[in-house]
């Protein structure tokens, strides 16, 4: 086992605090793939989530807009904030992650389909998968953009806590869902959003994992 680890030393960075480029590549791809799978599970039950993905779901359910395209376009205005506040590297990685997630969300149905799933299970599974994907991206200094970037900006500019901004916008998105779907679907969508945010809040801690 030690020999195998040593053999991989030329490809994988041995440092615990800095990722090698190949580690960033696999981390961003894996995170985007898992996040796209989570979105697909939610969509299979007609559920939504928060942030820009939730708005993309609203547009998809209400007007038949392509989800992947809507998700990508909705995130474009936030890249300027990301560039100014979070730096070039974070912005480029986030742009790639959002592009990958958008494409993968659309093509997954060509490889497999979910014919039936209970909305409660879809909320739990979809929320957890999204949480794993977001966590992987965070640990490689990337994100799924959107409201998270806006929250950081408002916190730095006006002192409004980023978490409260995220919560307020998510509640608005889920409240708007009443216009395009039924109360039970909104309930299960809220459940999925709670699962996602709790998973990230519990597992994403700088004192446990610090990566550059």
Whether the pLDDT of residue 154 is over 90: the answer is no
- CA 98, distance to chain mean position in Å, is 8
Residue 144 located in a structural domain: yes
Q: Which helix (H) or strand (E) holds 36?
A: helix 21-44
The DSSP 8-state label assigned to residue 139 in this structure reads T
Taking only the tens place, the pLDDT of each residue in 16-37 is 567 777 887 888 999 999 999 9
Residue 8 located in a structural domain: no
Residue 6 located in a structural domain: no
> Which pair of tokens denotes residue 171?
């509640």
Whether the pLDDT of residue 10 is over 80: the answer is no
> pLDDT at position 196, please?
87
Residue 70 located in a structural domain: yes
Residue 1 located in a structural domain: no
Residue 98 contacts residue 133 (beta carbons within 8 Å): no
pTM for the full predicted model: 0.82
**Mean pLDDT (whole number) for 118-138:** 92
**Mean pLDDT (whole number) for 57-67:** 91
Question: How many domains is the chain partitioned into structurally?
Answer: 1
Whether the pLDDT of residue 13 is over 60: the answer is no
Taking only the tens place, the pLDDT of each residue in 70-107 is 999 999 888 888 888 778 888 999 999 999 999 999 89
Task: Return d(Cα 36, Cα 26) in angstroms, integer.
Answer: 15
State the pLDDT confidence band at 8, using cuts at 50, 70 and 90.
very low
Residue 166 located in a structural domain: yes
Q: CA 27, 28, 29, 30: dihedral to nearest 10 degrees?
A: 50
Residue 11 located in a structural domain: no
Residue 140 contacts residue 24 (beta carbons within 8 Å): yes
> pLDDT at position 7, please?
38
> pLDDT at position 207, please?
56
The Cβ of residue 150 has, within 10 Å, a number of other Cβ atoms equal to 21
State the pLDDT confidence band at 40, using cuts at 50, 70 and 90.
very high
Lowest mean pLDDT among 5-14, 76-85, 129-138, 164-173: 5-14
Domain interval for residue 60: 20-203
> pLDDT at position 14, please?
46
State the pLDDT confidence band at 209, using cuts at 50, 70 and 90.
low
Whether the pLDDT of residue 67 is over 80: the answer is yes
Report in angstroms the alpha-carbon separations of 61 from 43, 47, 178, 180: 10, 10, 12, 7
Residue 119 located in a structural domain: yes
Residue 169 φ/ψ, nearest 5 degrees: -70, -40
């Amino acid at each position: 086992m030690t020999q195998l680890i040593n053999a991989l030393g030329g490809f994988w960075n041995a440092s615990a605090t800095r990722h090698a480029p190949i580690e960033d590549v696999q981390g961003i791809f894996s995170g985007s793939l898992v996040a796209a799978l989570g979105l697909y599970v939610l969509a299979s039950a007609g559920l939504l989530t928060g942030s820009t993905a939730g708005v993309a779901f609203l547009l998809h359910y209400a007007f038949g807009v392509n989800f992947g395209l809507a998700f990508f376009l909705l995130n474009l205005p936030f890249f300027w904030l990301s560039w100014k506040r979070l730096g070039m590297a974070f912005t480029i990685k986030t742009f790639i992650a959002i592009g990958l997630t958008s494409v993968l969300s659309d093509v997954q149905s060509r490889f497999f389909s979910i014919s039936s799933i209970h909305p409660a299970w879809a909320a739990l599974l979809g929320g957890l998968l999204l949480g794993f994907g977001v966590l992987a991206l965070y640990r490689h200094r990337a994100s799924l953009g959107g409201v998270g970037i806006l929250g950081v900006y408002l916190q730095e500019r006006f002192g409004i806590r980023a978490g409260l901004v995220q919560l307020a916008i998510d509640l608005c998105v889920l409240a708007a869902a009443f216009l395009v779907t039924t109360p039970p679907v909104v309930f299960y969508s809220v459940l999925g959003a709670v699962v996602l945010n709790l998973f990230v809040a519990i597992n994403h801690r700088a004192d446990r994992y610090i990566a550059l």
